[in-house]
Structure 1
Amino acid sequence: MSKLTITANYRRDGDDWAVAVRANGKELDATAPGLIAARLAADQLVDEIATGRPDRAVVHMLEGDAFAFSVAYLHTRAGLTPPEPAGAPEASTAHEQVIEA
């Protein structure tokens, strides 16, 4: 029997986080008030979708990007503000000025 591969894809949903867990053509969804809570909800959905399958691997992704999820989740767990996702517009700061000669 091969290992069951499960994906958990997270995305912002207003002030909340939505997570979709997929495996073998099944999908379960949940919404939670924060990334940590969404991760806990994903664990519950994984248990439900993979009932009786101890041989499973779960890939957690932030809008399809596993690395971005890891960075955001670890920052959140440490109480830090996660960095903006790649491609997000950068906030301008007052201390950045272009000096022309």
Structure 2
Amino acid sequence: MGATPILVNYQPQGEDWTVNVRSDDTVLTEQAPGLIAARDRADQLVEQLTGADTERKPTVVHLLEGDAFAFTTAYLHARHGLSTPSLPQPQPPAADTPAGDPPKVGENTQEMDLSELAEEALDAEI
């Protein structure tokens, strides 16, 4: 059975970031100026926990306030100098358009006038 992963949780504190590295019962906490510096500091803390002489690299899960996808998105945007996109807010359905039943498996959800398709094919041959 594999070892328990090391969890690294990042929390923004204004311009700075707090990094919590948790492995079993040990928790290390540091501050860093910016997400990229926080990620580098997390690597140092993981190495401090596991030792530099380990043959196998530990599994490390990076989380932004508990969300791995949010961390990956924020980190890649910071790494490439992009602004972090805000998540789109779901829009409620319009009141005058009732939601229909979802299509059934195998049901054709596109409408097509086959006579137009046949005419286009004939025109292409000419």
Greater share of residues in strand: 1
1:2-81 paired onto structure 2 within 5 Å = 2-51=2-51, 52-53=53-54, 54-81=56-83
Instruction: Say how many residue pairs are matched.
Output: 87
Q: Which letter does structure 1 place at the counterpart of 2:6? A: I
Larger Rg: 2
Q: Secondary structure at the match of 2:84?
A: coil
Deviation for aligned residue 1:50: 1.4
Cα distance in 1 between the residues matched to 2:8 and 2:28: 9
| Aligned partner letter, 1:37 | A
Unaligned runs of 5+ residues in structure 1 are: 88-101
SS of the equivalent of 1:3 reads coil
Percent pairwise identity: 49
TM-score (structure 2 length as normaliser): 0.63
Distance change (3 Å), C-alpha of 1:71 and 1:28? same
TM-score relative to the length of structure 1? 0.77
From the superposition, tell whether residues 40 and 85 of structure 1 become closer, same or farther in structure 2 (CA, over 3 Å). Answer: farther
Where has structure 1 moved over 3 Å in runs of 4 or more? 84-87
Higher helix share goes to which structure? Answer: 2
Contact 1:16-1:31 within 8 A present in 2 as well: yes
CA separation of 1:83 and 1:65: change in aligned 2, threshold 3 A: same
Q: Give the superposed CA RMSD.
A: 2.0
Give distance in 2, aligned partners of 1:19 and 1:68: 15
